[in-house]
Chains A and B, each alone.
Chain A
Amino acid sequence: MFGTHYRIERKSVALAVAIMIVASIGGLIEIAPLFTIDDTVESDPKMRVYTPLELAGRNIYIREGCYACHSQMVRTLQDEVERYGPYSLAVESKYDHPMLWGSKRTGPDLARVGGKYSDQWHTAHLRNPRDVVPQSIMPRYGWLSETELRTRHLGDDLRALRAVGVPYSDAMIANASADAVAQASPDDDTAGLVERYGSATQIRTFDGDKRTTSEMDALVAYLQILGKLSDAAHPAPASKE
């Protein structure tokens, strides 16, 4: 055994190849089957995609690093299920590129936060968390209300997502920018949006300001859909806290 090594360590390419082979085995056995074993992800034909506004909100969530403090994965432990709701299923993040399961809960888990608080609460909380939760240590995100959401190129985002497997239709891609604005403007014509994303789509002025579609609108729209894309894990029960 050590004699073999005595020979390998005299040849740099042999050593490099050996390292690559030995290091690749673990990943191959653990990752590759996840793409082929069918019951890795439950099937839910009713699982829906993010609307362009929700997707834009998700991108703001990513941009601001919210994942660093808030997980989106309720584990199968009793206290977590009681605190946050039914445990997360794989199908619920099927269209999440990338996933946002997180690794730390400096703040609470957000996997099922959708519908738990009002839009007004979210907006006030994001402007200054300590106005609604005096003990909070979350940063302030007041500028989101003042920043207009850039919707012009959302079609590109949907197209890229379709390339990696999210079933966005041609009509969804073509109307992405208009749909994003319409979802936060209940007075506008929203028939196309409802036709493309379903009647359960939440259409309202999320940040309470009708004049513009702001980044706050998008982020709140995203937070309000968390845990509601699929019913596979049962609808989230009322808050236990």
Chain B
Amino acid sequence: MISGLTLNERRWGVAILAVLICIGAAMAAAGADRADPFQVHGFLVMAYSLIVLCVVLRGYDEPGPGRLESYYDDPSKAGIVIAMLWAVFGMFIGDWVAWLLAYPDMTFDAAWSSFGRLRPAHTTGVIFGFGGNALIATSFHVMQRTSRARLPDQFSPWFVLVGYNLFCLLAVSGYFLGITQSKEYAEPEWYADIWLVVVWVTYLLLYLRTLARRKEPHIYVANWYYLAFILVVAILHIVNNLAVPASFGGAKSYSLFSGVQDAMTQWWYGHNAVAFFLTAGFLGMMYYYLPKRAGRPIYSYRMSIIGFWGITFFYMWAGSHHLHYTALPQWVQTLGMTFSVMLLVPSWIAAANALLTLNGAWDKVRDDATLRFMMMAAIFYGLSTFEGSFMAIRSVNALSHYTDWTIGHVHAGAMGWVALITFGSIYAVVPWLWKRERMHSPALVEVHFWLALAGTLIYVFAMWNSGIIQGLMWRTYNDSGTLTYSFLDSMVAMHPYYIARAIGGLLFLIGAIVGCYNIWMTIRRPAGAPAPSDDAPLPANLQPAE
């Protein structure tokens, strides 16, 4: 895999890994002094760096000539495999916690396996492990093709990929150990956060350096989204994680903000992690792989522009809709609601642009499950953004907030949009990357599609039902003017829906495992005639349409 690295690049790798091993040792020593789980993370950093060091030192010689004549795709290949492993891990934990809500004793009587520790392991595993690795892998692929330029060096893509996965490991293992700062979707502690900043700045520089080398005069739409994803996630991550560590020898830190300011900052982060991690990045994926696979240019260049800037501007205001009727000042709540409703316009423009691109290629959607993954993703994107704008309205939010409806909405987006566009893109790109004629089994892609779709629908319908019932039960009054149901009554009423949700999640997980098998068999397949149209210049969609 990394045999293409030059001697000099390997030396850089060895130097950085040596520094990391020293940092790990220092963490382990400081943590041991305080009997803090920080110590375990020190050992984890050391072990991870040592393993990577072994890989780097294997075959310490100059690569052969000719490596500069093709795009550098090894990090993309590794990233896709890692993303699928995280997918299975994250979805497994997710389904486990889903069963736990129906049968709370389906667990070990140990600290690490209680719901509160597994739940962030699920969210981080799928969002950052699966989603993040898929974004990094596909962005490397897309930026080279759309810029018609090779990556500027071979070291920094590996640094981004390997370093990012160290962050993911620190995050997920931390939850099992009880290390968390409790800010939803920003749970990792201060040292993991600092490390992510280092990785992310490298990622941004790599992106800008590749764009600087491009042989196309224009930056293609997919790259606008990837660039916005990298930049804005950096801003969000840094601001929301500002904190003072209790000690440099322990994991615990205290957020710089408190109470109402912290709540606003947290949901500004939380909602825009949805916007720029889970939407912008994946729209980048969609804007490249969907037209490629359909063999048609993007429907409208103007719609791309309006959609992009609308999403970039409006989304950043919408976070306060998570705080309706709370102690957050009313004026901020109202701004959040207003912009959330306006956000529907650019979101639907993006979804419509994708679906209209398929005009003239609907026969392919019927025959090709890979393209159908992407089409269904665009439909779910449109549906869940509509739902999001709807739920941001104060009076709707009064009912939906704190209930399972929110969970259903999130998963309509996470499973229906993020995961489906990722699976579609991966099925498209795997034969191109490994120079295979097609996926090992198109029939299994078909099976995966129907498992994923059925799983998503069961999940989302179960949560819509349970959430709305829950919200209604909490606010039902009887004739004498007192509350009809106790909180426990509403919990008991959720039981059948929690079972349905866990079954839906199980179908989705099985689909992902089928996908892993199919990808693995494709990689192992003897190289045949490579799939057409990979590195050939793009049709009209590379250039603006007008």
* A19, B228: Cβ atoms closer than 8 Å: yes
* B313, A22: Cβ atoms closer than 8 Å: yes
Chain B nearest CB: distance from A136 CB in Å?
7
Considering the complex, give the chain A residue whose CB is closest to the CB of B175: A65
B116 lies within 8 A of chain A by Cβ: yes
Q: Mark B133-169, 1 if CB is under 8 A from A, else 0.
A: 0000000000000000000000000000000000000
Considering the complex, give the chain A residue whose CB is closest to the CB of B317: A26
* B101, A137: Cβ atoms closer than 8 Å: yes
Q: Mark A56-89, 1 if CB is under 8 A from B, else 0.
A: 0001001111111101010111111011000111
A137 vs B219: C-alpha distance when bound (angstroms): 52
B39 lies within 8 A of chain A by Cβ: no
A171 lies within 8 A of chain B by Cβ: no
> What residues of A have a CB within 8 angstroms of the CB of B465 in the complex?
none
A103 vs B269: C-alpha distance when bound (angstroms): 14
B195 lies within 8 A of chain A by Cβ: no
A207 vs B439: C-alpha distance when bound (angstroms): 60
Choose among B178, B183, B254, B329 the residue that contacts A40 (Cβ–Cβ < 8 A): B329
Choose among A2, A83, A91 the residue that contacts B302 (Cβ–Cβ < 8 A): A2
A85 vs B328: C-alpha distance when bound (angstroms): 18
> What residues of B have a CB within 8 angstroms of the CB of A62 in the complex?
180-182
Chain B nearest CB: distance from A53 CB in Å?
16
| Given A23-B231, A139-B107: A30 touches B257 (CB 8 Å cut-off) | no
Choose among A26, A59, A66 the residue that contacts B116 (Cβ–Cβ < 8 A): A66
* B182, A77: Cβ atoms closer than 8 Å: no
> What residues of A have a CB within 8 angstroms of the CB of B235 in the complex?
20, 23-24
Q: Mark B399-428, 1 if CB is under 8 A from A, else 0.
A: 001110011000000000000000000000
User: Chain A interface residue count: which class?
Assistant: 35 or more
Choose among B104, B407, B486 the residue that contacts A137 (Cβ–Cβ < 8 A): B104
A121 lies within 8 A of chain B by Cβ: no
* A96, B218: Cβ atoms closer than 8 Å: no
* A22, B183: Cβ atoms closer than 8 Å: no
Chain A nearest CB: distance from B121 CB in Å?
10
Q: Mark A28-68, 1 if CB is under 8 A from B, else 0.
A: 01110011010011000000000000000001001111111
> What residues of B have a CB within 8 angstroms of the CB of A76 in the complex?
325
User: Chain B interface residue count: which class?
Assistant: 35 or more
Q: Mark A128-168, 1 if CB is under 8 A from B, else 0.
A: 01100101111111110000001011001101110111100
B474 lies within 8 A of chain A by Cβ: yes
B215 lies within 8 A of chain A by Cβ: no
Chain A nearest CB: distance from B110 CB in Å?
8
Interface residue ranges of A91-118 to B (CB < 8 Å): 91-109
> What residues of B have a CB within 8 angstroms of the CB of A156 in the complex?
246-247, 250
> What residues of A have a CB within 8 angstroms of the CB of B114 in the complex?
64-65, 139-141
Chain A nearest CB: distance from B471 CB in Å?
10
A163 vs B125: C-alpha distance when bound (angstroms): 33
Stretch at the interface among B61-69, B258-266, B352-360: B258-266
> What residues of A have a CB within 8 angstroms of the CB of B246 in the complex?
153, 156-157, 159-160
Chain B nearest CB: distance from A22 CB in Å?
5
Considering the complex, give the chain B residue whose CB is closest to the CB of A91: B259
Considering the complex, give the chain B residue whose CB is closest to the CB of A165: B258
| Given A16-B231, A34-B264: A153 touches B34 (CB 8 Å cut-off) | yes
Interface residue ranges of B386-408 to A (CB < 8 Å): 398, 401-403, 406-407
Residues of B at under 8 Å CB distance from A?
34-35, 100-102, 104, 107, 109-111, 114-117, 119-120, 175, 178-184, 208, 211-212, 217-219, 224, 227-228, 231-232, 235, 239, 243-247, 250, 252-266, 268, 276, 301-302, 305, 309, 312-320, 322-329, 332, 335-336, 339, 398, 401-403, 406-407, 474-475, 477, 482-483, 486-488, 491-492, 544
9 cross-chain pairs, A with B, having the tightest CB-CB distances, nearest first = A65-B116, A26-B316, A26-B317, A93-B259, A75-B325, A98-B255, A12-B211, A90-B327, A139-B114
Sample of 23 A–B contacts (CB below 8 Å): A9-B224, A12-B219, A19-B227, A22-B312, A23-B312, A26-B318, A27-B316, A30-B335, A34-B332, A37-B329, A41-B260, A65-B120, A75-B324, A75-B398, A97-B256, A99-B262, A99-B263, A101-B263, A104-B406, A104-B407, A140-B109, A153-B246, A156-B246
